[in-house]
Amino acid sequence: HRRVLELSGVPENEISYTVEPKFDGLAVELVFNNGVLSLGATRGDGVIGEDVTLNLRTIKSIPLRLMGDHIPALLEVRGEVIMNKGDFEKLNRKREQLGDPLFANPRNAAAGSVRQLDPRITTTRPLNLFAYGIGRVQGIELTEHWDGIHLLKSLGFRISQHVELCRSVDQVTAYHQKILELRNDLPYEIDGIVIKVNSFALQARLGELSRSPRWAVAWKFPA
């Protein structure tokens, strides 16, 4: 928060943060041209990832065509592919019966399922996607991350029911404690929260370091 204040020069009462659970899965990016899914890739090193379009098409929570009347000409969607804890346990029991090696955790199961060479195998895996961000967009003007998240929901994506808008550091701290207490009751694994400067203009002013943005940070939970 001090860094945001120092680098932006914006008064404290003008800064807000979007906060959400940090999903423990596989980060992917989806590209939609005129409302149709045309590409899906893993995040990789942040610049180059793997083309996993065919596998991502098998995940029911990923729309193959966007919903609504106002469809952007180009939309890049960022999200996390996860496997619920209960589904992970069922998958591992089935693999144990078949004599197959077990997955170490739901994150590895999700990542291994998305990166299968045969999409027919991915189809049999109980995967979900939560959308949490937008890259490039053409045809719709957005000024805040909060608005972008709710645009994604209106277009047919699943977003976290726990995403919130905070207008002070105290609210962010209280949110972190609330989600930490919820952690074990959630059906999927999380390992912290993600805090993002809400204003896109302020995000652009803050910029990015070589590997991470100055306008976002993960606040991890204890292991």
86-121 residue pLDDT tens? 999 999 999 999 999 999 999 999 999 999 999 999
CB atoms within 10 A of CB 145: 25
- Catalytic positions are 22
DSSP assigned state of 43:
-
Residue 123: how many CB atoms within 10 A of its CB? 15
Chain-centroid distance, C-alpha 20: 9
Tokens of 82: 């996860």
The pTM of the whole model exceeds 0.85: yes
Cβ-contact 176, 218 below 8 angstroms: no
Count CB neighbours of 173 within 10 A.
12
Question: Are 220 and 23 a contacting pair, CB within 8 Å?
Answer: no
Q: Average pLDDT, stretch 146-159?
A: 96
Residue 42's pLDDT is: 95
What tens digit of pLDDT does each residue of 51-74 get?
Answer: 999 999 999 999 999 998 889 999
189-210 burial, b at 16+ Cβ within 10 Å, e below that, comes to bbebbbbbbbbbebbebbeeee
CB 106 within 8 A of CB 162: no
Beta bridge partners of 220: 192
User: Helix (H, G, I), strand (E, B), or coil: what is residue 6?
Assistant: helix
Task: Write down the residue that tokens 């709710």 correspond to.
Answer: 150
First vs last C-alpha separation in the chain? 24
